[in-house]
C-alpha cells in the first residue's frame, strides 16, 4: 500500500472514529494493553533483530539502550495505555456558545483533529504512546518511526492495531509506514487534505526538515535552549539548588538548562560558588571573559554556544548588566520553550514573566517541570515551541479541534 493509500484509509477510519463512544475507545485501549503483554515474545524477538542490526552498525551505547525493549519496559508501555484509558475524554466537551438574536443557537464543541501524523526517531515506546493518545482523542494516526527501530515499531504497531480493531476501532485507524526510505517522510508531510496535522519528534534536524517542506500544518516540538537568569536579589541557596537541578537532573531533555545568565552585581559573590559546584557535579562550564576570570577551567563561549542545545553536561554562562540585558539575550537566543528568573524582587519577577515570549516562564523553580505529567495533564504527546494551536506541553485536548453546531428553525440572513 502506498503512503497516500494508507493516509486515505486513515482518513476514512477517522470519520467513523470521530463518532465512537468514549467507552468504546477506552475499552480498546485496555485491550491493546493486554495484547502488548500477551504478545511479548513477538515484540521482543523483533526488538532483538533491531538490537543486532544496531550493534552491527556500531550504534552508540546510549542509542542502543534507548532502542532496547525488556519485559519491564513493555509492561510500562502497557501501563501507559491503561493510564491514558483512565484520563477524561476531551472529545465532546462543550466549549461555549450562544443564542443569536434570531433564535439560532451556536454551540462550540470539541472534536478530534482527524488524522494525526507522527514522525519520530526516538524509542519504540513512542509508538505505543502515540497510538494510545491519538485513539483516546478520537484520531486516526499515521506513524513514521526511525529506521533503527523499524522491526520493533512494526511489531508494536501491528499488535496494537489488531487489538484495537478486534475491540471495535474502525479498520485502518492505526497506520504504520514500514519504510526506511527517506522520501517517505517527505511524502507524508505533503498529504494536505488527508492528514490534518504532523507532529515531528526528534532531533532539531528532523524537525527543521519537516517544518521546511510540509504543506500539512505542523506543530513544532522540542528544541529547548532554556535560560535561567540569576538576578541581583536572588537567594543563593535556592539558586544553587534550582540551577543544579535544571542542568544535571536529566541533561538530555529539552527542558534542561543550557545558558545561565548572572547579574553583574552578584558576579563576584555567586558566580565563583556556582561555577565550582557545577564543576563538582561534572558540568563543563563555558563562559564569557568575566566568567573565565572566575576559574581558569572555564572555556570561552562562542556566539554559537549561546544558540546551542547541548543536551549534555555542558553549560554556557554569561554575565549581564541586569534584567533588560537578560531579556534581550533570551529574545535573541531562546527557543520559546522554558525560561526562568531567580529573584526575590517582586517587580522583576512580574516584569520577567510579562516580557519573556516562551511557552513556560518560571520564577524560582527548575525549568525541568515543563512536562505534561508534571503539569498534571496525565499524558504528553510533545512540547510545542510554536505559538499556533498549542504551546508548551501537549496532552489530549491539544490533539483536538472544535466545530460549531448551529440549530435553527428556518433562519435566513436579512
- Rule CB under 8 A: choose which of 82, 290, 329, 389 binds a copy of itself: 389
Q: How far apart are the first and last CA of the chain?
A: 51
Furthest C-alpha separation in the chain: 81
Residue 290 CB contacts under 8 Å (≥ 6 apart), including other chains: 264, 267, 271, 319
Nearer to a copy of itself, 179 or 308 (CB): 308
Q: Does 70 interact with a copy of itself (rule: CB under 8 A)?
A: no
Contact window for a copy of itself (CB under 8 A) among 2-10, 179-187, 190-198, 281-289 = 190-198
Q: Should residue 19 be labelled a site residue for a copy of itself when binding is judged by CB under 8 A?
A: yes
Decide: is 403 part of the binding site for a copy of itself (CB under 8 A). yes
- Work out the burial of residue 214: count CB atoms within 10 Å of its CB; fewer than 13 is exposed, 13-18 middle, 19 or more buried: buried
Q: Three-state SS for 250?
A: coil
Separation CA 38–CA 42 (nearest Å): 9
23 DSSP 8-state letter: H
Question: Site for a copy of itself (CB under 8 A): which residue of 114, 145, 200, 287?
Answer: 114
Grid coordinates belonging to 369 = 517541570
Using the minimum distance from each CB to a copy of itself, give the nearer residue, 321 or 374: 374
Given 45, 94, 100, 297, the residue binding a copy of itself (CB under 8 A): 100
Q: Of these, 53, 93, 104, 232, which contacts a copy of itself (CB under 8 A)?
A: 104
Assess 64 for contact with a copy of itself (CB under 8 A): no
CB 48 within 8 A of CB 188: no
| Cα distances (angstroms) measured from residue 204 to each of 224, 388, 406 | 10, 19, 43
Using the minimum distance from each CB to a copy of itself, give the nearer residue, 35 or 349.
Answer: 349
Rule CB under 8 A: say whether 307 interacts with a copy of itself.
Answer: no
Subset of 238-277 contacting a copy of itself (CB under 8 A): 238, 241-242, 244-246, 249
Stretch that binds a copy of itself, among 79-87, 305-313, 314-322, 384-392 (CB under 8 A): 384-392
**Nearest approach, Cβ of residue 175 and a copy of itself (Å):** 18
Which residue in 142, 121, 183, 119 sits closest to 14, CA to CA?
142
Shortest distance in whole angstroms from residue 246 CB to a copy of itself: 8
Phi-psi sector, 287: left (phi>0), alpha (psi -120 to 50), beta: beta
408 belongs to the binding site for a copy of itself (CB under 8 A):
yes
Q: What are the cell numbers at 188?
A: 507524508
Q: What are phi and psi of 96, to 5 degrees?
A: 155, -170
Binding footprint of a copy of itself on the chain (CB under 8 A): 15, 18-19, 98, 100, 104, 106, 111, 113-114, 192, 196-197, 211-212, 215, 217-219, 235, 238, 241-242, 244-246, 249, 331, 349, 353-355, 357-366, 368-370, 374-376, 386-389, 391-392, 401-413
Amino acid at each position: 500500500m502506498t503512503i497516500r493509500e494508507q493516509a486515505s484509509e486513515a482518513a476514512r477510519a477517522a470519520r467513523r472514529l470521530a463518532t465512537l463512544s468514549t467507552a468504546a475507545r477506552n475499552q480498546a485501549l485496555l485491550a491493546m494493553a493486554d495484547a502488548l503483554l500477551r504478545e511479548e515474545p513477538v515484540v521482543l524477538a523483533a526488538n532483538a533483530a533491531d538490537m543486532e542490526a544496531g550493534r552491527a552498525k556500531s550504534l552508540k551505547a546510549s542509542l542502543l539502550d534507548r532502542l532496547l525493549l525488556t519485559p519491564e519496559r513493555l509492561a510500562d508501555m502497557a501501563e501507559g495505555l491503561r493510564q491514558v484509558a483512565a484520563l477524561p475524554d476531551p472529545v465532546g466537551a462543550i466549549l461555549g456558545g450562544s443564542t443569536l438574536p434570531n433564535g439560532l443557537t451556536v454551540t462550540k464543541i470539541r472534536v478530534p483533529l482527524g488524522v494525526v501524523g507522527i514522525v519520530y526517531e526516538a524509542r519504540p515506546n513512542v509508538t505505543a504512546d502515540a497510538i494510545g493518545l491519538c485513539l483516546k482523542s478520537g484520531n486516526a494516526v499515521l506513524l513514521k518511526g526511525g529506521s533503527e527501530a523499524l522491526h520493533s515499531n512494526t511489531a508494536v504497531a501491528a499488535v496494537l492495531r489488531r487489538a484495537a480493531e478486534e475491540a471495535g476501532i474502525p479498520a485502518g485507524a492505526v497506520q504504520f509506514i514500514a519504510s526506511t526510505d527517506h522520501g517517505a517522510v517527505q511524502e507524508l508531510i505533503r498529504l494536505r487534505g488527508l492528514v490534518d496535522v504532523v507532529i515531528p519528534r526528534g532531533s532539531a534536524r528532523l524537525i527543521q526538515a519537516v517544518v521546511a517542506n510540509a504543506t500539512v500544518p505542523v506543530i513544532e516540538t522540542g528544541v529547548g535552549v532554556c535560560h535561567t537568569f540569576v538576578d541581583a536579589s536572588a537567594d543563593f541557596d535556592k539558586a544553587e539548588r534550582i540551577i543544579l537541578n535544571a542542568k544535571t537532573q536529566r541533561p538530555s531533555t529539552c527542558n534542561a538548562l543550557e545558558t545561565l545568565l548572572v547579574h553583574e552585581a552578584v558576579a563576584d559573590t555567586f558566580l565563583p560558588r556556582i561555577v565550582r559546584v557545577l564543576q563538582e557535579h561534572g558540568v563543563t562550564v563555558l563562559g564569557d571573559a568575566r566568567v573565565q576570570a572566575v576559574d581558569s577551567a572555564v572555556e570561552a563561549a562562542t556566539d554559537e554556544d549561546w544558540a546551542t542545545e547541548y543536551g549534555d553536561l555542558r553549560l554556557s554562562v554569561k554575565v549581564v548588566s541586569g534584567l533588560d540585558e537578560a531579556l534581550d539575550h533570551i529574545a535573541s537566543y531562546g527557543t520559546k520553550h522554558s525560561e526562568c528568573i531567580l529573584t526575590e524582587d517582586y517587580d522583576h519577577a512580574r516584569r520577567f514573566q510579562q516580557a519573556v515570549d516562551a511557552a513556560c516562564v518560571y520564577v524560582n523553580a527548575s525549568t525541568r517541570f515543563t512536562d505534561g505529567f508534571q503539569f498534571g495533564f496525565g499524558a504528553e504527546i510533545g512540547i510545542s515551541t510554536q505559538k499556533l494551536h498549542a504551546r508548551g506541553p501537549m496532552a489530549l485536548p491539544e490533539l483536538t479541534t472544535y466545530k460549531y453546531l448551529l440549530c435553527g428553525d428556518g433562519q435566513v440572513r436579512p
